[in-house]
């Protein structure tokens, strides 16, 4: 993966030191090579992490009048290369960047309809004097932008935009409401900071500096269609799609490994990858995470019915590769809370973020590419809120049924919105915009709304987490379940198929029979592991107590001290966000909020 940034419009040459600074802020995303192309009214900036054809895939890359900067991987590169070669194109290297550039030269914006991959890219057309921007269908790779002084400024991460003197760390009351009431989620397309936006998943368009015109369109989104497949036919199709997605994403010219939690999703990926590696006479590296003394303190819950080590061992014995265990301890988890904010540029998922950041830091010592089971739950209906009729019929985001509780922390006068109405507006908007065929029965209608809510909101939070925490250590993480073909098909499949035999992700389990040991194939869902050590709560409580004692800390401007003190002695069962953010993580989230306000010098308007 890489980092991209740029400015289109205005006199760019006096801003070269600024562009160098922006590129420097993206060096963790791309430590291997640095590039910049400057034109009369355009500057394109690139920081490269070399994965495919390290010697020759340098960027910005030029072909004819087109110059591209690109972050991502195109998984159907071989097919596109053959198709373009048949049309007369010749290639100088093996990189997917060159294929993508030639595809745009050949088909223009229609090229995006041919892509299978994760990507954010920009193409400057020197002849027409305009920029094309594009983001992948599922939103795996980020792309933020701001319009200032008749110019468009864009970047892979918010931190790079904020290095530009025209983009200030200002947050409106609406942006603050997002952080306090929806965080760590964000409104789709919002960059939280004032007049900073993010290209939506499956969005592309042109910017013309001469008229300061930005024209965007959605080239892809989930669309409903009749499903005439029987259950066996659906299972066969799912097996093909999932296996093909995993196999495509194993291509790499640098060392690759897979995450392995012992759960269904990462185990499937590891098993398919292991088969490919074994057939090629190679050994696959798999990597797991655990926490010091976690077995001692683990308590089964509705969301975490069992711990991972037993199932990891089953899989490690089943596979033919090399397994690696990374163990994290409480002090480093607490310290990394602040790095996680600076990786995400916003308050995040507390130690759910910081543990992944530390995990990826250790994985980087082993590999440059990792493959993860993220996003299967959103697409196959794996979360508890899909399957609990009481929860799924309740109005509101099912992973954050806590608006009133959140609002109780906020000082009077800080927000100028009604918290319940603010959250409800975005919830209803997503439900209303879900594409559902006329005549669909109420249960199927609700389940399609649920999938859209999860894909547009919860999944985006997890993809943000995966991208920023991994790229902090220059590690590329791929997510095969985010293959758009899988999502397209599963959106049309009846809920009874997904819930086959009353199992979460029952269709996926049935489709992949024989790939895994039965104990793993039918293991009840357990989320990403978190620490259960009471020392963690004690540590974050001490940190928060220090913040409370220092009246100069910015948290005091927006949060009630009495509510924070009550939080530190509470044991609240309803999570702040998702399944994992209970009391210790909520305390840590406020630490992250304070660090963000202070470090980014956030000005609330």
The count of other CB atoms within 10 Å of the CB of residue 159 is: 20
What tokens appear for 197 in the block? Answer: 């936006």
Burial of 439 (0-12, 13-18, 19+ CB in 10 A): exposed
Look at the block and give the residue holding tokens 């050994």.
283
Do the Cβ atoms of 406 and 285 come closer than 8 Å?
no
Do the Cβ atoms of 358 and 244 come closer than 8 Å?
no
- Render 574-595 in DSSP notation, one character per residue: S-SSTTT--HHHHHHHHHHHHH
Whole-number Å distance between alpha carbons of 504 and 525: 7
Do the Cβ atoms of 11 and 210 come closer than 8 Å?
no
Termini Cα distance of the chain: 35
Do the Cβ atoms of 274 and 522 come closer than 8 Å?
no
Look at the block and give the residue holding tokens 């202070």.
598
Is the bond preceding residue 599 a cis peptide, omega within 30 degrees?
A: no
Between β-strands 66-74 and 144-148, what pairing exists: parallel, antiparallel or unpaired?
unpaired
Do the Cβ atoms of 508 and 238 come closer than 8 Å?
yes
Q: At what angle do helices 309-318 and 264-279 cross, to 10 degrees?
A: 20
Whole-number Å distance between alpha carbons of 557 and 596: 13
Residue 360 annotated in active site: no
Look at the block and give the residue holding tokens 């760390």.
169
Q: Go through 315-337 and write b for each residue having 16 or more CB atoms within 10 A of its CB, e for each that does not.
A: bbeebebebbebebebeebbebb
Q: At what angle do helices 330-344 and 459-471 cross, to 10 degrees?
A: 100
Whole-number Å distance between alpha carbons of 298 and 378: 26
Tell me 132's DSSP state: E
Please count the CA atoms within 13 angstroms of the CA of 407 that sit on its side-chain side.
15
Strand spans (E) along 9-115 = 33-38, 42-48, 61-63, 66-74
**Which residue in the list 2, 204, 360, 375 is annotated as catalytic?**
2
Whole-number Å distance between alpha carbons of 390 and 245: 34
Do the Cβ atoms of 481 and 376 come closer than 8 Å?
yes
Burial of 302 (0-12, 13-18, 19+ CB in 10 A): exposed
List, in order, residues 6 or more apart from 546 with CB less than 8 Å away.
none
| Residues designated catalytic | 2
């Amino acid at each position: 993966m890489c980092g991209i940034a740029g400015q289109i419009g205005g006199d760019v040459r006096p801003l070269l030191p600024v562009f160098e600074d922006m590129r420097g802020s993206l060096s963790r995303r791309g430590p291997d090579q640095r590039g910049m192309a400057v034109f009369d009214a355009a500057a394109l900036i690139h920081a490269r992490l070399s994965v495919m054809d390290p010697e020759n895939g340098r960027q910005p890359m030029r072909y004819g009048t087109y110059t591209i900067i690109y972050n991502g991987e195109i998984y159907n590169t071989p097919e596109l290369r053959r198709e373009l070669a048949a049309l007369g194109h010749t290639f100088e290297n093996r990189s997917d960047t060159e294929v993508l550039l030639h595809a745009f030269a050949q088909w223009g914006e229609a090229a995006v309809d041919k892509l299978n991959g994760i990507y954010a890219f920009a193409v400057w057309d020197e002849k027409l004097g305009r920029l094309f921007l594009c983001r992948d269908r599922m939103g795996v790779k980020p792309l933020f932008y701001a319009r200032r002084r008749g110019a468009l400024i864009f970047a892979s991460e918010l931190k790079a935009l904020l290095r530009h003197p025209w983009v200030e760390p200002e947050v409106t009351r609406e942006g603050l409401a997002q952080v306090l009431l929806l965080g760590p989620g964000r409104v789709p397309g919002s960059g939280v900071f004032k007049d900073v936006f993010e290209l939506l998943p499956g969005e592309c368009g042109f910017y013309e500096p001469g008229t300061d015109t930005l024209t965007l369109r959605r080239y892809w989104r989930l669309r409903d269609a009749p499903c005439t497949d029987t259950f066996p036919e659906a299972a066969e199709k799912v097996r093909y799609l999932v296996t093909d997605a995993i196999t495509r994403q194993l291509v790499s010219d640098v060392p690759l490994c897979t995450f392995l939690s012992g759960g269904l999703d990462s185990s499937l990926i590891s098993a398919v990858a292991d088969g490919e590696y074994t057939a090629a006479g190679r050994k696959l590296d798999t990597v797991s995470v655990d926490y010091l003394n976690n077995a001692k303190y683990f308590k089964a819950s509705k969301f975490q019915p069992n711990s991972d080590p037993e199932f990891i061992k089953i899989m490690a014995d089943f596979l033919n590769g090399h397994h690696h265990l990374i163990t994290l301890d409480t002090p480093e988890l607490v310290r990394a809370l602040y790095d996680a904010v600076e990786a995400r540029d916003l308050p995040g998922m507390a130690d759910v973020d910081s543990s992944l950041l530390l995990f990826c830091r250790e994985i980087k010592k082993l590999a440059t590419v990792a493959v993860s089971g993220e996003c299967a739950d959103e697409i196959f209906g794996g979360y508890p809120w899909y399957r609990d009729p009481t929860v799924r019929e309740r109005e509101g985001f099912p992973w954050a049924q806590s608006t009133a509780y959140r609002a109780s922390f906020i000082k009077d006068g800080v927000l100028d919105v009604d918290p319940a109405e603010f959250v409800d507006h975005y919830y209803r908007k997503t439900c209303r915009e879900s594409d559902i065929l006329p005549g669909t029965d109420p249960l199927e209608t609700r389940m399609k709304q649920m999938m859209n809510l999860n894909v547009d909101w919860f999944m985006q939070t997890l993809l943000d987490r995966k991208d920023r925490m991994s790229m902090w250590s220059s590690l590329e993480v791929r997510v095969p379940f985010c293959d758009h073909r899988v999502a397209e098909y599963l959106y049309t499949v009846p809920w009874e198929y997904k819930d086959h035999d009353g199992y979460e992700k029952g269709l996926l389990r049935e489709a992949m029979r024989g790939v895994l040991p039965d104990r793993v194939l039918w293991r009840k869902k357990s989320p990403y592991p978190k620490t259960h050590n009471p020392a963690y709560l004690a540590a974050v409580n001490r940190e928060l107590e220090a913040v409370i004692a220092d009246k100069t800390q910015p948290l005091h401007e927006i949060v009630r001290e009495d509510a924070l003190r009550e939080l530190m002695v509470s044991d609240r069962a309803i999570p702040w966000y998702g399944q994992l953010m209970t009391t210790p993580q909520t305390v840590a989230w406020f630490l992250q909020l304070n660090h963000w306000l202070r470090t980014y010098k956030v000005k609330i308007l």
